[in-house]
């Protein structure tokens, strides 16, 4: 019952954003579909300087803490499976300073999903111990940072 998709995601703009423009409403693997939607937005975005991209990451993270916390509270479910704004930001963090190209976007997608699903320490700790909107966002932010570090390592060693 807790993970049923509420109708409010189509009528409440806060819920709509938290559910990743509706991508979190899919019945199976909403986190993966949310990450795919984030990947599409990344692909459509114009190239940005690292400074501007970094500022956008901070803004979308802070916004996400509020969006996810508010939606979670409204629904009465901590970290509803359909809340995927955290996946959006986690993927965008993964892609910070990544080389251009679909191959790198797919590598980033794979790395982020592995970290987000496997939840090695400290991701698992954040997922289990931190409450509210910060808790919803933090595990994906950490997964994005670790995936970004791996991606950058691949860029250095693989080219």
Q: Is residue 38 part of a domain?
A: yes
**C-alpha span between 61 and 103 (Å, rounded):** 25
- In this predicted model, what pLDDT tens digit does every residue of 86-130 receive, in sequence order? 999 999 999 999 999 999 999 999 999 999 999 999 999 999 999
Its domain, for residue 75, covers 7-158
CB distance 85 to 17 below 8 Å? yes
Q: Is residue 32 part of a domain?
A: yes
pLDDT of residue 4: 76
Low-confidence ranges of the chain (pLDDT < 50): 1
Domain count, the chain: 1
pTM score, whole prediction: 0.94
**C-alpha span between 16 and 71 (Å, rounded):** 9
Q: Is residue 2 part of a domain?
A: no
Q: Is residue 13 part of a domain?
A: yes
């Amino acid at each position: 019952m807790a993970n049923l998709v509420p109708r409010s995601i189509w009528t409440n703009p806060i819920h709509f954003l938290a559910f990743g423009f509706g991508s979190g409403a899919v019945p199976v693997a909403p986190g993966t579909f949310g990450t795919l939607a984030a990947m599409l937005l990344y692909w459509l975005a114009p190239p940005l300087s690292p400074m501007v991209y970094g500022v956008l990451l901070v803004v979308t993270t802070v916004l996400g803490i509020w969006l996810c916390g508010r939606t979670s509270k409204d629904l009465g479910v901590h970290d509803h499976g359909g809340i995927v704004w955290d996946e959006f930001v986690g993927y965008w963090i993964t892609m910070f300073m990544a080389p251009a190209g679909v191959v790198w976007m797919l590598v980033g997608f794979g790395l982020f999903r592995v970290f987000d699903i496997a939840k090695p320490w400290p991701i698992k700790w954040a997922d289990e111990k931190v409450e509210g909107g910060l808790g919803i966002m933090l595990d994906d932010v950490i997964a994005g940072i670790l995936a970004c570090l791996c991606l950058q390592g691949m860029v250095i060693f693989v080219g």
